[in-house]
A and B are shown apart, each in its own frame.
Chain A
Amino acid sequence: EAGVAQSPRYKIIEKRQSVAFWCNPISGHATLYWYQQILGQGPKLLIQFQNNGVVDDSQLPKDRFSAERLKGVDSTLKIQPAKLEDSAVYLCASSSRDSPNTGELFFGEGSRLTVL
Chain B
Amino acid sequence: DQQVKQNSPSLSVQEGRISILNCDYTNSMFDYFLWYKKYPAEGPTFLISISSIKDKNEDGRFTVFLNKSAKHLSLHIVPSQPGDSAVYFCAATVSGSARQLTFGSGTQLTVLP
Contact = CB atoms under 8 A, between A and B. Distances in A.
B91 interface: yes
B43 A103 contact: no
Given A50-B98, A95-B99, A102-B95, A41 B105 contact: yes
Interface stretch (A11-19, A71-79, A106-114): A106-114
B49 A109 contact: no
A interface residue count range (under 10 / 10 to 19 / 20 to 34 / 35 or more): 20 to 34
Contacts, number: 66
Interface of A: 4, 31, 40-45, 48, 50, 55-56, 91, 93, 95, 101-110
Contacts of B4: 42
A29 to B, nearest CB: 11
B32 interface: yes
Interface of B: 4, 6, 9, 32, 34, 41-46, 49, 51, 89, 91, 93, 95, 98-101, 103-106
B32 to A, nearest CB: 5
Contacts of A102: 32, 49, 51, 93, 95, 99
Contact of A108 (B43, B51, B95, B104): B43
Most buried by A among B44, B51, B89, B104: B44
